Amino acid sequence: MNPETKNHLFDTLVVGVVAAALAGVASGPTLARWARRKPEGAARTVASRATAPVVALSERLGIARRREALASALFVQALPEFTVSEAEPERRVVSTERANPIAVSQAISQTISQSDERRFSRSRPLLVWVAGDSMAFNFGRQLERLGRASGAVRVALDSQPSTGLIDRGEFRWVDRLRTAIEQRRPHVFVLSFGANDADVLRHHGVLYAPGRPEWREGYRERVRTVIEQIASRRPTYWLGMPVMHSAEYGRKISVMNEVFAEETAHSPNVVFVETWRRYEGPDHEYSAFLSDSSGRMRLVRESDGVHYTPEGARQLAAHVYGMLCARFVVGGCAR
């Protein structure tokens, strides 16, 4: 091997080592969570000790804060607007006039709480706010499509990837939902959380892994907070999580579904939409294919075994759309 080739290989090796080191430092928070998720005992001890120097350097350099700021700039966008029907694309949907948010909230809550809720139509559309993690995206797009076709339902989709109800830096869903109430004034919320919440959770200052009783109680407090702060002011539809391809991941998700069902049952203003059984196959296990209303087998889940395909989301959106129309829209919605 000639000297020039040796020097090239050495330079390549140095660049690779430096790049790996920088990547490790930049991933400090991720490495820390990975170590904490290891089973208690030797595995967690070894993982924690091995990653400790990189995590410490990441914290000292403020990498975590910079990553959170970048993620906020990329993913946490301004609040979306409501869609308009295909027949009236020029009409503004949300009034920009200044008003007392508390007075507006009380007026709308009083209207919604009346015994006859079927008071919306094409001339006065039902405003539906769909919010949640990436699981909400395809669902919200399909609900938007149905709403545009009828003109009686308008949808605003606020899907924020890699977020959830557990700790995610400074991002808090309950704050964002309160802002949506005050600035966009939706009549109804449809919420979808859980895809990113199968992770360690801080409860009373201590970190707990999924499966621990303390984790369940900490997660219950977060769900309860959303219900108390949001569902107490607007009718809310809370989507459960579907059956998952990974059995281990599915066990964690099933705990969340239990919490969702238990907590929403205590509030008359919340409807829990069960999806686990809706996406089970004939053997009551995960299935990527399900039959549609015509009996045709359709691909309903993405290759990751978690997210809905557009068709899978369409089936769920049609179900929720029917519930909304039957409850709120005069004469239902033409489809």
Instruction: Give pLDDT, residue 66.
Output: 60
For 277-313, b/e burial (b = at least 16 CB within 10 A) is ebbeeeeeebbbebeeeeeeeeebbeeeebbbbebbb
Within a 13 Å sphere around the CA of 270, how many CA atoms are in the beta-carbon half?
A: 25
Instruction: Give pLDDT, residue 169.
Output: 75
Instruction: Give pLDDT, residue 30.
Output: 54
Which superfamily does CATH assign the domain made up of 78-328 to?
SGNH hydrolase (3.40.50.1110)
Instruction: Give pLDDT, residue 282.
Output: 87
10-residue averages of pLDDT along the chain (335 residues): 63 54 52 53 64 66 58 64 69 41 44 64 96 97 95 96 86 94 96 96 92 96 96 96 96 97 96 96 93 92 97 97 96 76
C-alpha distance across the termini of the chain, in Å: 73
Instruction: Give pLDDT, residue 189.
Output: 98
Instruction: Give pLDDT, residue 293.
Output: 84
Taking the model in full, what pTM does it have?
0.73
Measured distance CA(160)–CA(136) in Å, rounded: 8
Q: What are the structural domain ranges in the chain? A: 3-70, 78-328
Answer for the pair 245, 301: CB distance below 8 angstroms, yes or no.
Answer: yes
Measured distance CA(118)–CA(74) in Å, rounded: 39
